[in-house]
């Protein structure tokens, strides 16, 4: 036998047993963003490597060690996108969507990072994100956060996620804070790990969110970013906090929250859960007013977030078994005898004509009723239709409930689609 070929480590197949859940998640996401007037943008999966280096930052986990970078046949350096914001800005600049305009956009699709695969962390994963442009007030920061909060409600998981926010201030204020932080960290250099030491000069803010508990303990009394905000950023942040309270969104201010990508300024936030172990951040975002200009456009304020869809699906299926809908049909059509098969086809097509949202599966491959009903049960269908020569002659259909122990009933062909619609909605 030939050796079987396996998928790349950390890159998952989405099998039929979960693809139904994914489709439902995707449709809720689409519906919620549409209800806020956001429009979809789709960008290529491959971009020039420079795009990510220039936006995400050279001294970040992503650019230092996580990118899938390769040379194409022309010798150009290309990278599989590790996130969606850089591509959105690139496309916005390229097509004139951002210059003097306001945009509210969303995207969804696969991202690639060469990380150590574990629960909630993969090498190909999916993000759903929103990005807004041309708006600098805290009203849009609030809207973006409200939108994310509505998503949790739509999925019924609002009690399992909490919001953490922080402000990184302006670039100038952060620069001044950086100096203060560097001298603080230098005094404790002997207690820092190798990674933190390496970042001390190049990206000291990232030392603040080190995952090493020893480092965390050593820098417990580090000066707080929030005490070093410029006046305007402070007003912006206070106003956002006030609006969140008015909107009934609870939040925690976490002065250590700095985010792993360089392009953020002012508002940053994360939605975290305790139900997924260490991969607890489900959604993360913030303001990135400098990025559009940094990538060659005119200075344009921007704010957005990205959500890890695998983590969302994991959370949904961890919290409720019902979230996993593995059924493939609502109605399963069985038939005995050659004549009845033609009738079964007529019935099935009639249902598909009149009830396009109902999943109708017609039995193929013959066998007795018992065998056919066994198949029907396996599909998860709620009703089986039983068609024999008698039903065909009288142009009737026997409807057998498969799930809730109700009585079988025989109804006229003409009443079939309204009866099925009622039964499925009941």
Decide whether 133 or 264 has the Cβ nearer to ligand ATP. Answer: 264
* Residue 83 binds ligand ATP, judged by CB under 6 A: yes
Cα–Cα dist 415/351, whole Å: 11
List the one residue from 260, 367, 380, 388 that touches ligand ATP (CB under 6 A).
260
Neighbours of 235 (CB within 10 A): 12
Kindly report the number of other CB atoms within 10 A of residue 125's CB atom. 21
Q: Is 85 annotated as a binding residue?
A: yes
Least separation in angstroms between CB 10 and ligand ATP = 8
232 is annotated as contributing to ligand binding: no
What token pair was written down for 31? 């519906």
Q: Is 396 annotated as a binding residue?
A: no
Pick the piece of the chain touching ligand ATP (CB under 6 A) from 138-146, 170-178, 308-316, 384-392. 308-316
Nearest residue (beta carbon) to ligand ATP: 308
Could you say which of 311, 363, 375, 382 contacts ligand ATP (CB under 6 A)?
A: 311
Smallest separation, CB 5 to ligand ATP (Å): 23
Q: Which of 142, 268, 282, 303 binds ligand ATP (CB under 6 A)?
A: 282
Cα–Cα distance for residue pair 246/268, rounded to 1 Å: 19
Is 256 a binding residue for ligand ATP by CB under 6 A? The answer is no
Which has the closest alpha carbon to 220: 180, 248, 185? 185
The closest alpha carbon to 163, from 243, 261, 262, 55, belongs to 243
Tokens of 183: 């001298």
* Long-range CB pairs of 192-200, under 8 A, 24+ apart, other chains included: 192/218, 199/59
Closest approach of ligand ATP to the CB of residue 276, in Å: 9
- CB nearer to ligand ATP: pick between 120 and 204: 120
H helices present in 118-261, as ranges: 138-154, 171-187, 194-202, 205-208, 213-218, 231-246
Among 286, 301, 304, 308, binds ligand ATP (CB under 6 A): 308
Q: Give the interface with ligand ATP as residue ranges (CB under 6 A).
A: 83, 113, 115, 120-122, 125, 127, 260, 279, 281-284, 306, 308, 310-311
């Amino acid at each position: 036998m030939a050796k079987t070929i396996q998928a790349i480590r950390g890159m998952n197949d989405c099998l039929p047993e979960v693809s139904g859940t994914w489709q439902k998640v995707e449709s809720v996401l689409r519906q919620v963003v549409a209800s806020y007037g956001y429009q979809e943008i789709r960008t290529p999966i491959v971009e020039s490597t420079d795009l990510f280096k220039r936006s995400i930052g050279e001294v970040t986990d992503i650019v230092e060690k996580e990118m899938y970078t390769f040379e194409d046949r022309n010798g150009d350096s290309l990278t599989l996108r590790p996130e969606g914001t850089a591509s959105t800005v690139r496309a916005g600049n390229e097509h004139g969507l951002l210059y003097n305009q306001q945009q509210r956009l969303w995207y969804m699709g696969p991202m690639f990072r060469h990380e150590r695969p574990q629960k909630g962390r993969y090498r190909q994963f999916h993000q759903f994100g929103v990005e807004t442009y041309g708006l600098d007030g805290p009203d849009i920061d609030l809207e973006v956060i409200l939108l994310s909060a509505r998503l949790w409600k739509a999925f019924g998981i609002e009690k399992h996620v909490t919001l953490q926010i922080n402000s990184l201030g302006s670039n100038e204020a952060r620069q001044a804070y950086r100096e203060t932080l560097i001298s603080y960290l230098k005094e404790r250099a002997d207690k820092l790990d190798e990674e933190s030491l390496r970042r001390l000069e190049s990206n000291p803010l990232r030392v603040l969110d080190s995952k090493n508990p020893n480092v965390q303990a050593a820098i417990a009394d580090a000066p707080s970013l929030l005490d070093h905000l410029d006046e305007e950023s402070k007003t912006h942040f206070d106003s956002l906090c006030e609006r969140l309270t008015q909107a009934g969104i609870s939040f925690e201010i976490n002065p250590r929250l700095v985010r792993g990508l360089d392009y953020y300024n002012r508002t940053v936030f994360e939605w975290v859960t305790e139900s997924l172990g260490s991969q607890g951040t489900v959604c993360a975002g913030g303001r990135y007013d400098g990025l559009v200009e940094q990538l060659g456009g005119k200075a344009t304020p921007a704010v957005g977030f990205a959500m890890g869809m695998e983590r969302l699906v994991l959370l949904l299926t961890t919290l409720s078994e019902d979230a996993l809908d593995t059924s493939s049909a609502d109605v399963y059509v069985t038939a005995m005898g050659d004549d009845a098969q033609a009738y079964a086809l007529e019935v099935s097509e009639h249902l598909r004509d009149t009830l396009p949202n109902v999943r109708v599966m017609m039995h193929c491959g013959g066998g007795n009723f018992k065998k056919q009903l066994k198949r029907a049960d396996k599909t998860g269908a709620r009703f089986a239709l039983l068609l024999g020569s008698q039903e065909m002659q009288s142009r009737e259909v026997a409807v057998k409930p498969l799930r809730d122990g109700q009585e079988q009933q025989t109804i006229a062909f003409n009443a079939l689609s309204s009866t099925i619609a009622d039964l499925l909605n009941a």
